[in-house]
Amino acid sequence: MSQSTGRVLGVNGNMVSVIVEGDVALNEVGYITVDSDGEEKRLKSEVIRVRGDRAEVQVFEMTRGIGVDDRVEFTGELLAVELGPGLLGRVYDGLQNPLPELAAQCGFFLDRGVYLNALDRKQTWAFAPKVAVGETVERADTLGIVPEGIFEHRIMVPFNRYGSYTVRQIAAAGEYTVDHEIARLADKDGNEIGVTMMFEWPVKRAVDCYAERLKPEDPMVTKVRIIDTFFPVALGGTYCIPGPFGAGKTVLQQITSRNAEVDIVIVAACGERAGEVVETLREFPELTDPRTGRTLMERTVIICNTSSMPVAAREASVYTAVTIAEYYRQMGLNVLLLADSTSRWAQAMREMSGRLEEIPGEEAFPAYLESVIAGFYERAGVVRLRDGGNGSVTIGGTVSPAGGNFEEPVTQATLKVVGAFHGLSRERSDARRYPSIHPLESWSKYRGPIDRGMVEYARDALHRGNEVGQMMKVVGEEGTSLDDYLWYLKSEFTDAVYLQQNAFDAVDAAVDTERQRFAFAMLFTLLTRRLSFAAKEEARSWFAELRQRFIDFNGAKWQGDEFNRLHKEIVSTIEARTAGTEENAEQLVGERG
């Protein structure tokens, strides 16, 4: 692409109109030159509409001080991110500007117009070649590898090099910087290109270098019981967490970012509180990842464009995040992208759409809201790579519905495309029933690690108990039969010891699959037993005591002495009360011997 220039015609908030000389592309990056206190600043912007020789650009910075006739330089490149070794453990803004490095240069505040390299040009990486001269390669094929922390980082043929190439030269094993040429490739016509360990990819285009897309089947274990057991997420799947403010969306994502059984986590802090990212930022370098024994930060990338940072960059931030996720997927890794909150991203689109004076849809969101949301979640998936291995990107997004009402456009558009819905309930969070995922309204299309039939049985028990609970509000305890009352107690028990989970307890905070199976089997036993009680009062205190033990059991170290003791006690307590099997469970229990 050629590099055009232009002049500012008008300014409206963070949208600037430009008259362009030469060609310009949609999503092309341009820089507006502005005089700021006698200092010249170049403000990064992106073309979002073109009409004749007039282009509208969204500016990723404060637009104060821009004047008519200010010079605009277009780059000929689309908004892109740098891909290469050295992304892990980094903290970037929505445009991949490294924030700690920016702080080192500018101090407390985010100065306008300062853009630093996303990848360190000085750091060297121990490169080992994986191809020989004469071999034929295509985009995304591995040329060599470098160790990046715990991972084998593949140095690949840049994704934008379409067609096939012959390797003419390949660097010997050794230490190189990311911009060092490590290979020369020749296309069919013999034209040679040099390849380094880094390249760029436009963020708004999905990385499509794979053999085939597969159906998400394997569970992505979050170690949150209610999710893994009742509303599981699959590797390569998508899920959303809508909920009113204070219901626990962010805490749930923070827990997941720590405990999820995936290789890499990309945290996209999109338009919400800066303080919440700081917790991750400061704590991850100190926390050990039980899977690897290294710090959590080594498997994490943080994209941080919080609420007071420029809105246009917020819009870009989720794309920056998903592009980095796709890049690591190409190495055969399982990547989890957590975006908090996708509503802020949608609002960024709404702000821009308003300035463009587009015809508004519901709640003034643009008419294309649905398709853009769908397009974003579509970038999740499991893929079979050309080398036969699999990689995946899983996307989990929070949604912050206006007024906590799920009938609003962003929640609705998201529900149409995701594979699991973890709806947070104000009632449950007010009652401190964390995580406040609603057990009756949430759903998942994925298969989890726990036996389906058993889970369905427990779900029915929850429904039944809930019905009794509702009825009891009207007729009182006096008007409820003992049998119904027991279902109520069983479902309350299930809630207290299984659905609720103490995020701040060292043991209970993260429960792996093995332990979930074990605990769920205990719970299942209780649910399927017909229990004999003389009166409600007796039943209530029996359940209260059992609950206390089960909660202690949840806090006991896996297969330690206390764990074994409590397990025995719970089982024998249940046995002592058993008067048979619930009718509707006979078949299920029978199958299991």
List contacts with ligand ADP (CB under 6 A). Answer: 243, 245-251, 434-435, 503
In the complex, the smallest distance separating the C-beta of residue 240 from ligand ADP, rounded to whole angstroms, is 13
Do strands 300-305 and 91-92 pair parallel, antiparallel, or not at all (unpaired)? parallel
Stretch touching Mg ion by CB under 5 A, among 161-169, 247-255, 287-295, 525-533: 247-255
Torsion of CA 509, 510, 515, 521, to 10 degrees: 60
Task: Check binding of 545 to another protein (CB under 8 A).
Answer: yes
Task: Check binding of 402 to another protein (CB under 8 A).
Answer: yes
Report how far residue 210's alpha carbon sits from residue 330's, in angstroms, rounded to the nearest whole number.
8
Task: Check binding of 360 to another protein (CB under 8 A).
Answer: yes
In the complex, the smallest distance separating the C-beta of residue 129 from Mg ion, rounded to whole angstroms, is 46
Which C-beta is closer to another protein: that of 180 or that of 426?
426
In the complex, the smallest distance separating the C-beta of residue 496 from another protein, rounded to whole angstroms, is 10
Tokens of 488: 């109520």
For residue 336, what are the contacts with CB-CB under 8 A and spacing of at least 6? Answer: 220, 256, 257, 260, 262, 264, 265, 266, 325, 393, 394, 395, 396
Which C-beta is closer to Mg ion: that of 398 or that of 494?
398
In the complex, the smallest distance separating the C-beta of residue 547 from another protein, rounded to whole angstroms, is 9
Task: Check binding of 52 to another protein (CB under 8 A).
Answer: no
Which C-beta is closer to ligand ADP: that of 250 or that of 414?
250
163 contact choice in Mg ion, another protein, ligand ADP, none (CB below 5 to 8 Å, kind-dependent)? none
> CA–CA distance from 75 to each of 28, 162, 564 (Å)?
7, 22, 66
**Per-residue binding letters, 71-100, with another protein (x by CB under 8 A):** --------------------x-------xx
Length of the chain in residues, anyone? 593
434 contact choice in another protein, ligand ADP, Mg ion, none (CB below 5 to 8 Å, kind-dependent)? ligand ADP
Ramachandran region, residue 404 (left: φ > 0; alpha: ψ -120 to 50; beta: rest): left
Task: Check binding of 68 to another protein (CB under 8 A).
Answer: yes
In the window 427-446, what residues touch another protein (CB under 8 A)?
430-432
Task: Check binding of 586 to another protein (CB under 8 A).
Answer: no
287 contact choice in Mg ion, another protein, ligand ADP, none (CB below 5 to 8 Å, kind-dependent)? none
**Per-residue binding letters, 278-307, with another protein (x by CB under 8 A):** xx-xx---------------------x-xx
Task: Check binding of 250 to Mg ion (CB under 5 A).
Answer: yes
Which C-beta is closer to ligand ADP: that of 86 or that of 435?
435
| Out of 45, 63, 300, 414, the residue judged to bind another protein by CB under 8 A | 63
In the complex, the smallest distance separating the C-beta of residue 276 from Mg ion, rounded to whole angstroms, is 7
| Helix (H) / strand (E) containing 578 | strand 578-581
Which C-beta is closer to ligand ADP: that of 72 or that of 268?
268
Tokens of 193: 């290109």
How far apart are the two ends of the chain, measured CA to CA in Å? 70
In the complex, the smallest distance separating the C-beta of residue 339 from ligand ADP, rounded to whole angstroms, is 13
Do strands 264-270 and 334-340 pair parallel, antiparallel, or not at all (unpaired)? parallel
Which C-beta is closer to ligand ADP: that of 156 or that of 247?
247
DSSP per position, 468-498: HHHHHHHHTTTTS-HHHHHHHHHHHHHIIII
Report how far residue 234's alpha carbon sits from residue 215's, in angstroms, rounded to the nearest whole number.
9
Q: Count Cα atoms within 13 angstroms, Cβ side, for 377.
A: 22
In the complex, the smallest distance separating the C-beta of residue 256 from Mg ion, rounded to whole angstroms, is 13
> CA–CA distance from 150 to each of 109, 140, 147, 195, 291 (Å)?
34, 21, 7, 24, 11
Which C-beta is closer to ligand ADP: that of 434 or that of 533?
434
293 contact choice in another protein, Mg ion, ligand ADP, none (CB below 5 to 8 Å, kind-dependent)? none
For residue 175, what are the contacts with CB-CB under 8 A and spacing of at least 6? Answer: 124, 125, 126, 127
Torsion of CA 81, 86, 88, 92, to 10 degrees: -50
Report how far residue 324's alpha carbon sits from residue 81's, in angstroms, rounded to the nearest whole number.
8
351 contact choice in Mg ion, another protein, ligand ADP, none (CB below 5 to 8 Å, kind-dependent)? another protein
277 contact choice in another protein, Mg ion, ligand ADP, none (CB below 5 to 8 Å, kind-dependent)? another protein
The angle that helices 311-329 and 342-355 make with each other, rounded to 10 degrees, is: 130
| Out of 470, 502, 548, 587, the residue judged to bind another protein by CB under 8 A | 548
Which C-beta is closer to another protein: that of 93 or that of 200?
93
Which C-beta is closer to ligand ADP: that of 393 or that of 437?
437
Do strands 142-148 and 124-129 pair parallel, antiparallel, or not at all (unpaired)? antiparallel
| Helix (H) / strand (E) containing 155 | strand 151-156
Task: Check binding of 110 to another protein (CB under 8 A).
Answer: yes
In the complex, the smallest distance separating the C-beta of residue 241 from another protein, rounded to whole angstroms, is 14
Task: Check binding of 256 to Mg ion (CB under 5 A).
Answer: no
> CA–CA distance from 318 to each of 102, 267, 398 (Å)?
20, 10, 12
In the complex, the smallest distance separating the C-beta of residue 252 from ligand ADP, rounded to whole angstroms, is 6
51 contact choice in Mg ion, ligand ADP, another protein, none (CB below 5 to 8 Å, kind-dependent)? none
403, 376, 321: which is closest to 118 by C-alpha? Answer: 321
Which C-beta is closer to ligand ADP: that of 85 or that of 435?
435
9, 25, 46: which is closest to 352 by C-alpha? Answer: 46
373, 444, 413: which is closest to 216 by C-alpha? Answer: 444
Which C-beta is closer to another protein: that of 347 or that of 394?
347
Task: Check binding of 233 to another protein (CB under 8 A).
Answer: no
Stretch touching Mg ion by CB under 5 A, among 77-85, 241-249, 344-352, 356-364: 241-249
Tokens of 436: 């406040």
In the complex, the smallest distance separating the C-beta of residue 306 from Mg ion, rounded to whole angstroms, is 11
Which C-beta is closer to another protein: that of 76 or that of 404?
404
Which C-beta is closer to Mg ion: that of 250 or that of 554?
250
3-class state of residue 434 by DSSP = coil
Phi/psi at 320 (nearest 5 deg)?
Answer: -55, -45
Q: How many CB atoms lie within 10 A of CB 389?
A: 12
Task: Check binding of 342 to Mg ion (CB under 5 A).
Answer: no
Residues found near Mg ion in the complex (CB under 5 A)? 249-250
